Amino acid sequence: MKRFLILNGPNLNRLGKREPGVYGADGLDVLEAMIRKEAATLGVLVSFLQSNHEGALIEAIHAAHDEALDGIVFNPAAFTHTSVALRDAISSGTVPVVEVHISNVHAREEFRHTTVTGAVSRAVISGLGFEGYLAALRFLAANKS
């Protein structure tokens, strides 16, 4: 059975509270429930981690590589635009990563248009809301690493 990590970066624990006009009114618990339901339909296993700490995200990516997971669905949030360390962690192994953003980062402030981590990800999905996570999971589940 394929195994995937759903990894969320800083401030995503504030979903439903932080800027609901941008990110929606539902919390991280609702997102995770949607992903669990889709994972069951696809017959895959998912695990979740949300952290506001860059080092914890890096360690989770390293562990996914070491455990030879089948893929990572990753919303690096604000670290998308700045973190060479996360970029290096993604490219330090062979596990495919699909970067996901709830909002359309290209329709927002100019500094959000650059994705340091997206350049080393298999794909980038932006602006589909929570559906972007499901699309990323479906993509990874359907494709050979």
Q: Each residue of 43-59: pLDDT tens digit?
A: 999 999 999 999 999 99
Instruction: Give 22 or 131, the one with higher predicted confidence.
Output: 131
pTM over 0.75, yes/no: yes
Secondary structure in 3-state letters for the chain: CCEEEEEECCCHHHCCCCCHHHHCCCCHHHHHHHHHHHHHHHCCEEEEEECCCHHHHHHHHHHHHHCCCCEEEEECHHHHHCCHHHHHHHCCCCCCEEEEECCCHHHCCHHHHCCCCHHHCCEEEECCCCHHHHHHHHHHHHCCC
pLDDT tens-digit map of 68-101: 999 999 999 989 877 999 999 999 999 999 999 9
Question: Could you tell me the residue ranges of all domains in the chain?
Answer: 3-73+86-142
- Is 133 a known active-site residue? no
Catalytic residue among 101, 106, 113, 133: 101
Of 23, 53, 62, 81, the active-site residue reads 23
Please state which CATH number belongs to domain 3-73+86-142: 3.40.50.9100
